[in-house]
Homo-oligomer: A and B are copies of this chain.
Amino acid sequence: MHTLGDIAKTINAKLVGDSNVEITGVASSLYANQTQLTYIVNGKYKQTLIHSKAGVVILNKDLLINCPTNALVVDNVYLAFAKATHLFKKQTVCYHGIHPSAKINNAKIAPNCIIGKNVTIGNHCIISSNVVIEDNVTIGNYALIQPNVSILEGCSIGDNIVISPGVVIGSEGFGNAQDQQKHWHSIAHLGYVVIGNNVSIGANTTIDRGTIEDTQIHNGVRIDNLVHIAHNVIIKQDSAIAATVTIGGSCTLGKRCMVGGGATITSHVNLADDIIITGASTVDKNLSEQGHYTGFTSISKHQKWKKIQVWLLNLDKIVHYLNIKLKKLKEK
């Protein structure tokens, strides 16, 4: 908990409001309540600001007139928000083997595991060697967690889950704000990873926690090895993600999607239900219609490829040239 006075000092903001108000956390502008901090980056969100129920809003001075609550006025809103998040980050490092407050039921726990405070593990779970489970993690029944897995603070996992070796769940999202000198300031990610039932996760896969809200993996999802799932991704029921797929921040994948190995889905992309992506494809836009999609260059002999690339990188010129030629011929 931090007073507005403290927060203003930390993020170097001008406080317009009551410096004694206490803030317990961060929320998005639509959902923030009177004990929470939020931010409005620009005038596009003016209506949200006007109806805000937040305890305090970080904003620019030109939006101050629209702020119905306490305001923290700054030049660089996103940077100030990034700094503020660190005030609410729980720094969790476990200094015990199995913490006495952990409820591990009849879980079989192999040597060298670390189980944090207030961890709850359901029945019939197997936790293999060298696994680290940080504070406040919840795991359902019949989990199999293989060696060298790290599950970080507060994440929750359903029943019948298999987590392969080396998996990381709840790592920080890749969100950074730039200051005037172009230095990066990381955003402390305050959301969790929430994983449903009947999910399997492949070796050395990483799943980042959400910025404010949670990263979500729904029931029945299958994830292969070395997959990257960024902050605030939502993968819906029964989707399958093959190896080394990259899913950028805030993507949503519908139900029963299948993404082939090596594909990249760029940030903020939404896939409808029942989308199939061929492996190695790049998904750089929303796909709202079910079906099978592909996007990569097929393999060919290197010498042939070199010629093709010359034409491809000049395709724009070629088409224009042909059009002119054709026009001239027509006019002859």
Contacts and interface: CB of A to CB of B under 8 A. Distances in A.
A216 interface: no
B228 A228 contact: no
A120 interface: no
A330 interface: yes
A238 interface: yes
Interface in A257-308: 260-262, 264, 266-267, 276-285, 287, 291-308
Contacts of A198: 183-184
Given A204-B166, A313-B300, A284 B292 contact: no
Nearest to A255: B182
Interface stretch (A8-16, A41-49, A65-73, A92-100): A92-100
Interface in A122-177: 126, 128-130, 132, 144, 146-148, 150, 152, 162, 164-166, 168, 171-172, 174, 176
A182 B254 CA distance: 13
A282 B260 CA distance: 12
Given A206-B204, A261-B248, A297 B315 contact: no
Interface of A: 91, 93-97, 108, 110-112, 114, 126, 128-130, 132, 144, 146-148, 150, 152, 162, 164-166, 168, 171-172, 174, 176, 182-184, 186, 198, 200, 202-204, 206, 208, 220, 222, 224-226, 228, 230, 238, 240, 242-244, 246, 248, 256, 260-262, 264, 266-267, 276-285, 287, 291-309, 311-313, 315-316, 318-319, 322, 325-326, 329-330
11 contacts: A95-B110, A110-B114, A114-B147, A166-B166, A171-B203, A183-B220, A242-B248, A246-B262, A292-B301, A294-B305, A322-B322
